Amino acid sequence: MFLLINKPNKITSHDVIAKLRQITGIKKIGHAGTLDPFATGLLVVALSRQSTKELNHLIKLDKTYEATLELGATSDTYDKTGKIKITKKKYTPTLKQIQNILKTFTGQQKQTPPSFSAKKINGQKAYNLARQGKPTNLKPQSILIHNIQLNKYTPNTNQLEITVSCSSGTYIRSLANDIGKQLKCGAYLKKLKRTSIGPFNLKNAIDLNKITKANWKKYTLQRLPPLPQKTKVITFGTFDLLHKGHINFLKSAKQFADELYIIIARDKNVKHIKGKLPTDNEQTRLKNLKELSLTHHVYLGQLNLDYQYRILNRIKPDVIALGYDQKINQKKLQEKLEKYGISPKITKLNAHMPHKFKTSIIKSTH
What is the set of active-site residues? 36
Of 95, 75, 37, nearest to 188 (Cα)?
75
What DSSP state is assigned to residue 258?
S
Please give the sequence-ordered ranges of beta strands (E in DSSP) within the chain, or none if there are none: 2-7, 29-31, 40-47, 63-71, 73-75, 84-86, 107-111, 120-121, 124-125, 141-154, 159-166, 187-197, 200-201, 206-207, 232-237, 259-264, 297-300, 319-322, 345-348
Residue 256 CB contacts under 8 Å (≥ 6 apart), including other chains? 231, 233, 318, 319, 321, 347
Q: Crossing angle for the helix pair 95-103 and 172-183, nearest 10 degrees? A: 130
Strand bridging mode 124-125 / 232-237: unpaired
3 state DSSP class of 151: strand
